Amino acid sequence: MFYNPLKRSVDGSTIRTLFSILTISILITSLTSVNTSGRLRTEDDEINFTILHTNDEHSALIPHSPAVDHDPDNEEDPTKGGFARLATAVEEVREEKDEEVLLFNAGDFLGGSAFGWLAPEEGYAPELHLLQEMGYDAAVIGNHEYDYGTEVLARYLMDAGYPEMHEETAILASNTEAPADHPLAEDDLYRDTALFELEDGVTLGTFGLIGKDAVDVAAYTDDVEFPDQHETARNMVERLEEKGADIIVAITHSGVQEDRELARDVDGIDVIVGGHCHTPLYEPVRESDTVIVQADYVVRYLGVLELAYNPESDELRVVNEENDRDYLIPIDNRFEPDQEISDLVHEYQEHLNDLISEKTGNRFEDLKETVARSDFTLYNEPPQQETPLANFITDGMRLVTGNVTGERVDVAVQANGNIRGDLVPGSMPHSEGNISFYEIAETIGLGYGDDGYAGHPMVSFYLTGEEIRRVIELAVLMEELLSDSFFLQFSGVRYEYNPDNAVLFTMPFSDTPIATGRAVTGVDLYTGEGIQPVDEDHEGYTELERGDEELYHVATDRHVLSFLPRFGDMVSRLKVEPKDAQGEVISDEDLDQFIVHRQDGSELKVWETVMEYAASLPEGEDGIPEIPEYYEERSGRINQTWSFPYIWSIYIIIIIAAGGTVLLIRRWKKKKEVDDSKDDDLEDD
């Protein structure tokens, strides 16, 4: 028989008991604070929430490394990343948590894989659309969002539904100033800050920065300006505090080093969610009172930062360790792809295949089709050195550009910043040794042309032998003074240099380096056909001597050409002036006349030269081109060597001059003593 309390009579004892309970409840209420939701809060109460984060997706919509290995039906599938897998990982964390979960993106969601080529196509914004579908709360604009220029970026954001979509996924660019009449500013396509409500009225405020290095390597920023990062951050912190933010998160595309500098210099930032330098931070970096996190690149990981905030003490704690939670979750085949996101990615892939077919005249029709085979990985490392992949790419630029122009190209040049990662062949039974269109495009597919298509256009022009030596001197100088992005790779020459001789000294106060122009000790020009051989002798090579005024045909891309004369202007003795075939100097304003066009008038892209080069290699038994073993190792094109330090020559001259001066002074003193002695003798007489 079940007991029914409603049948119990209410006597005096019961009333006294109820009164006592009510009195105790009132007393407890008076001794504790009550939050807006009515929950009792003590001083030890904390609000828990989670920040999920990614950065530098670089249009890597599908599983990769390499993409040809992907086999969703194989439990051994070794591929990483993929937006559909990422969506599943995000949703699993959200379902697990009984707390607020925010999802942030630290920039460069665009630019890298061939999927980024859809951005210039009107009506397409694949990366940002997918971020919105996955429920990202905010994203910042990084340097690669400018790969196709500011007008394309504005249209891309509008195609993604902005400014209305700020309410779903805020686009932050706090230290970005577009001209007032530019669509980026006029149409409110980016914001300075965003606020998010956690539980119990606690507010989290965010702002977004693009860093100094990111600005330096951004391709086409046009008239957009980027005010000082630290000053902007101070203003944003103040503004967010005025708006009532209890917790402040900076989402930055700056790199860990700049993030640390920001944390040291600007008070009030609780968390920095970073990007740009592609660093997997398996544990947060702590600088001053700021926690810094970053999640590698191309969707290899989902970053997870679990936090606890005490409104009474205004203290914020990282609680991953006590929750036994890793800071980075690998995105791999453990996650079933989200069907909705997977369907969208497939739709974009179909559009991309149509674009590839159109651009290549149906020579290539599928993103994943095998272009060549290789038994080895073509590595793009170590930094600031010759690499096998760079040799492969520059050889393609030199040889294919020569074929298209009908004139032999003597030297091809490419910058490391345009070469992305290694070229990795397939390793699975169904893909072993295969290198697909996707992999090649991913390594060298950056840039944009006047024809409206993605990819840096090739340019060809003429330099004297002396100017080629100067370009190499500039390469050495940039290696010493700038990041790996500016390190230059070559085809058609080999050279020796002493990096210690690049800079004589740095001017005090101004930090201006004084270049010697004498770091390069020898340059040989390859005069043969095809791949330049690894040959310690001079067979097939001729020395480029100082002062050589003969004209040589040079190929690079428009982006590299745009900064070569600029760097030469900074160091007058290394001045470089691109010329036409008749030796006429072309001004900086007219450099576009050097763009290489095919017979149909279309621009020849860097990625096309490399793709065609790979497809033209000798075929194996199965009829598929094979990459020669030559590209398994370096081939001695760029060689550091020891030479007599140039600064020592200056020291020796100074020492000799000083010694000579001392001798002259001593002789003068001795002569003076003799003369004085003679004068004394005369006076005695």
Give the CATH number, domain containing residue 289.
3.60.21.10
Q: For position 510, what pLDDT does the model report?
A: 54
Dist CA 166 CA 659 (whole Å): 72
290 within domain boundaries = yes
Dist CA 46 CA 198 (whole Å): 12
345 within domain boundaries = no
* 551 and 493 part of one domain: yes
Q: For position 508, what pLDDT does the model report?
A: 61
* 279 and 391 part of one domain: no
Dist CA 248 CA 266 (whole Å): 12
* 601 and 504 part of one domain: yes
Which helix (H) or strand (E) segment holds residue 372: the answer is: strand 370-373
* 466 and 582 part of one domain: yes
The first and second tokens of residue 363, run together, are: 């020579």
Domain boundary among 303, 323, 343: 323
* 588 and 673 part of one domain: no
* 109 and 203 part of one domain: yes
Q: For position 500, what pLDDT does the model report?
A: 84
Dist CA 444 CA 419 (whole Å): 5
528 within domain boundaries = yes
Domain boundary among 308, 323, 338: 323
CATH number at residue 583: 3.90.780.10
Domain count, the chain: 3
The first and second tokens of residue 302, run together, are: 């989902």
Q: What is the pLDDT of residues 624-678, one digit of tens each?
A: 999 999 999 999 999 988 765 655 555 566 777 776 777 788 777 777 776 666 6
Q: For position 44, what pLDDT does the model report?
A: 60
Which helix (H) or strand (E) segment holds residue 209: the answer is: strand 203-210
Task: Supply the Cα-derived Rg of the chain in whole angstroms.
Answer: 32
Domain boundary among 289, 323, 357: 323
Answer yes or no: are the C-beta atoms of 79 and 70 closer than 8 Å. Answer: yes
- 561 phi, psi to nearest 5 deg: -60, -30
Neighbouring residues of 139: CB distance < 8 A, sequence distance ≥ 6: 104, 105, 106, 107, 109, 128, 131, 169, 170, 171, 172, 208, 251
Answer yes or no: are the C-beta atoms of 57 and 72 closer than 8 Å. Answer: no
Q: For position 568, what pLDDT does the model report?
A: 64
120 within domain boundaries = yes
* 184 and 295 part of one domain: yes
Q: For position 29, what pLDDT does the model report?
A: 41
* 662 and 543 part of one domain: no
Q: Which residue numbers in the chain have pLDDT < 70?
A: 1-44, 480, 504-513, 538, 568-570, 643-653, 659, 674-685
35 within domain boundaries = no
Q: What is the pLDDT of residues 399-432, one digit of tens each?
A: 999 999 999 999 999 999 899 999 999 999 999 9
**Residue 131 domain boundaries:** 47-323
* 374 and 317 part of one domain: no
531 within domain boundaries = yes
353 within domain boundaries = no
188 within domain boundaries = yes
Q: What pTM, to 2 d.p., does this model score?
A: 0.85
* 681 and 583 part of one domain: no
* 485 and 630 part of one domain: yes
* 246 and 374 part of one domain: no
